[in-house]
């Protein structure tokens, strides 16, 4: 019997011997909170800047121009994108665009200067951006290996709090939560960036075009 099978067997035995649950854990979370767009955006930007992320506001007509400008500012020449990303967002970029797939080995992603993805939902209260592996967001490795992540956030995808944000997610999808650039502290409490993901996070915050 392998170590894995032994551990799972012990867990099953413990569950069999455990007494039945007397009551359910209350889940009465506060939900349904709303704020006007301007207030939600202001709250989100405050959180993102506090996390040392770079925020770029633009209107519905200029996300491509903003993304191109950001990529130029960071000196990106080779950019990775998920297969379902809106191609119009990179119309002004003159470098190499690498469309990611499961066939691309993760170590090769380190050769990218930056990655551009969309997002699913964003929590203004915590400044957390949620990715769910959709075609325009790609696999998790794509957003963790390159040093620069440019993530596009639509204003109408910004919710006030965590319960409201979670309500817009599909639980079965692989969720990645981003709260600013990757950072941690060493044993002497010195901040170290880029340990678990990109050291530089650029958020392009835009309004969606009206249909």
Note down pLDDT in tens along the chain; length 211 residues. Answer: 789 999 999 999 998 887 777 677 777 888 889 999 999 999 999 999 999 999 999 998 899 999 999 999 999 999 999 999 999 999 999 999 999 998 999 889 999 999 999 999 999 999 999 999 999 999 999 999 999 999 999 999 999 999 999 999 998 999 999 998 887 777 777 777 767 778 999 999 998 765 4
DSSP 16: H
The pLDDT assigned to 176 comes to: 95
The pLDDT assigned to 181 comes to: 85
Considering the entire predicted model, what is its pTM?
Answer: 0.84
CA distance 73 to 67: 10
Q: State the DSSP string of 47-97.
A: HHHHTT-EEEEE-TT-HHHHHHHHHHHTT-SEEEE-TTS-GGGGTT--SEE
First-last CA distance in the chain: 60
The pLDDT assigned to 134 comes to: 96
Looking at domain 35-206, its CATH architecture is 3-Layer(aba) Sandwich (3.40)
The pLDDT assigned to 4 comes to: 92
Contact in structure between 116 and 92 (CB atoms under 8 Å): no
The pLDDT assigned to 209 comes to: 65
The pLDDT assigned to 189 comes to: 75
Contact in structure between 180 and 203 (CB atoms under 8 Å): no
């Amino acid at each position: 019997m392998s170590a894995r099978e032994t551990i799972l067997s012990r867990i099953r035995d413990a569950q069999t011997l455990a007494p039945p649950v007397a009551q359910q854990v209350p889940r009465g979370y506060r939900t349904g909170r709303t704020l006007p767009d301007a207030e939600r955006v202001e709250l989100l930007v405050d959180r993102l800047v506090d996390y040392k992320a770079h925020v770029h506001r633009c209107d519905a007509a200029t996300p491509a121009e903003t993304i191109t400008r950001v990529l130029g500012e960071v000196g990106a020449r080779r950019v990775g994108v998920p297969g379902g990303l809106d191609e119009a967002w990179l119309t002004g970029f003159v470098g190499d665009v690498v469309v990611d797939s499961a066939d691309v080995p993760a170590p090769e992603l380190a050769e990218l200067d930056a990655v551009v993805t969309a997002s699913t939902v964003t929590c203004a209260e915590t400044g957390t951006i949620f990715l769910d592996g959709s075609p325009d967001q790609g696999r998790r490795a794509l957003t963790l290996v390159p040093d620069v992540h440019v993530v596009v956030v639509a204003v109408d995808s910004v919710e006030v709090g965590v319960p409201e944000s979670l309500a817009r997610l599909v639980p079965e999808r692989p969720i990645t939560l981003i709260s600013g650039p990757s950072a941690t502290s060493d044993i002497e409490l010195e901040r170290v960036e880029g340990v678990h993901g990109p050291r530089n996070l650029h958020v392009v915050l835009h309004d969606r075009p009206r249909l």
